[in-house]
Amino acid sequence: MVDRSAIGRNFTPVTAHVEPGRLRYFCDTIGENNPIYRDAQAARAEGYAAIPVPPTYLFCLEMMDAENPFEFLTELDIDLARVLHGEQGFTYHVPAVVGDTLTFRSRVTDVTEKKGGAMTLIAVVTDVTRQDGVHLAGMTRTVVVRNPKAAST
Partner 1 sequence: MTQTASRSVGDRVVHKTFPPITRHTLALYCGASGDHNPIHVDLDFAKKAGFPDVFSHGMLVMAYLGQALTDAVRPKDIRTFSTRFAAITQLGARLTCEGHVTELIEYDSEPCMKIALVAKDEAGEAKLLGEAIVAR
How many residues does this entry show for the chain? 153
Pairing of strands 101-114, 119-130: antiparallel
Binding mask 88-127 for partner 1 (x = CB under 8 A): xxxxx--x--------------------------------
Query: Which residues contact residue 2 at a Cβ distance below 8 angstroms, ignoring those fewer than 6 apart?
Result: 76, 77, 78, 111, 120, 122, 145
Q: In terms of CB distance, is 62 or 100 closer to partner 1? A: 62
**CA atoms of 13 and 16, how far apart (whole Å):** 10
Q: Which residues pair with 129 in a beta bridge?
A: 103, 135
Q: Which range touches partner 1 (CB under 8 A), out of 65-73, 98-106, 107-115, 118-126?
A: 65-73
38 near partner 1, rule: CB under 8 A: no
Pick out residues in 3-22 that bind partner 1 (CB under 8 A): 22
Contacting residues toward partner 1, per CB under 8 A:
22, 25-26, 28-32, 34-36, 46-48, 52, 54-57, 59-66, 69-70, 80-92, 95, 140
